[in-house]
Amino acid sequence: MENKRPLILVSNDDGVSAKGISEFIKFLRPLGDIVVMAPDSPRSGSGCAITVPVPVHYQLVRQEVGLTIYKCSGTPADCVKLALHTILDCTPDLVVAGINHGDNSGTSVHYSGTMGVAIEGCLKGIPSVGFSLCDHGANANFEPLKDFVRKIVTDVLREGLPPLVCLNVNFPNIPNFKGAKICEQAKGLWKKEWEPCPRLNDQNYFWLTGEFVNMDEENEQNDGWALANGYVAVTPILVDMTAYHYMDHLKQLLRV
């Protein structure tokens, strides 16, 4: 019987030319056949956005044994949808995103195009993981992540993930990790989010920026704590967002 290699679909939000995705591909190649469909330019902050007003285009970049790379004009979530529809003739065993240049822990999951990829894969019923390194630098060093990335991918390929659950894996920006911790999302707030950049006499231009304030930073269970203390933070993410615990109370509140 043929021992078929796993098929792994890869995308990201920093774009097909980012160092993070090329290092990621190197780490993944021994583990399976790789198909990449990644945005043709940086798409940070895309969340789960999809492209509605214009058509989406994709194009082959490179093909060799066990690796095919496409680029796409759409968002990270579009990349997953389009690869499943047009490129792949069977469902991949895994959808992975990254490795992102920058932190996607805590509530940043909502804004993260990296996690947009993982959430899209998960909504399609495929085990899905997003990987991020807490270093925004274009030349960030991804080498220390290699063994952890391979271990997590191998474990998820072997064991799968439950319905409607994907993983958000964030690495602190240090050369030696203390280990991995299973975490909850840090509760917090983005603050100081806008920096003025006036143009001629118009004061109403702003760059989005900001800092995440972990409101629960003493809590060793959250991913913000894990990252601040040298651990790889592995946060399971539920894509069913129903607030089940509040349904009964809401019935009373609205008297329905």
Q: Site residues for a copy of itself, window 140-169 (CB under 8 A)?
A: 151-152, 155-156, 159, 162, 164-165, 167
Backbone angles phi, psi at 121, to 5 degrees: -60, -45
How far, in Å, are 51, 117, 120, 195 from residue 31 at the CA level?
32, 20, 22, 43
Within residues 189-208, the interface with a copy of itself by CB under 8 A covers 189-190, 193-194, 197, 199, 202, 204-208
Q: Which is nearer to a copy of itself, 2 or 159 (CB)?
A: 159
For residue 211, which of 226, 189, 196, 230 has the smallest C-alpha distance? Answer: 189
Q: Which is nearer to a copy of itself, 30 or 246 (CB)?
A: 246
185 lies in the binding site for a copy of itself (CB under 8 A): yes
128 lies in the binding site for a copy of itself (CB under 8 A): no
Contact present, 11 and 117 (Cβ < 8 Å):
yes
Contact present, 28 and 10 (Cβ < 8 Å):
yes
> In whole angstroms, what is the distance from residue 164 CA to residue 227 CA?
25
> In whole angstroms, what is the distance from residue 103 CA to residue 106 CA?
9
Name which position in 85, 90, 176, 200 contacts a copy of itself (CB under 8 A). Answer: 85
Number of residues counted as binding a copy of itself (CB under 8 A): 81
Within residues 40-79, the interface with a copy of itself by CB under 8 A covers 42, 44-53, 55-59, 74-75, 77-78
Within residues 13-32, the interface with a copy of itself by CB under 8 A covers none
Q: Which is nearer to a copy of itself, 1 or 200 (CB)?
A: 200
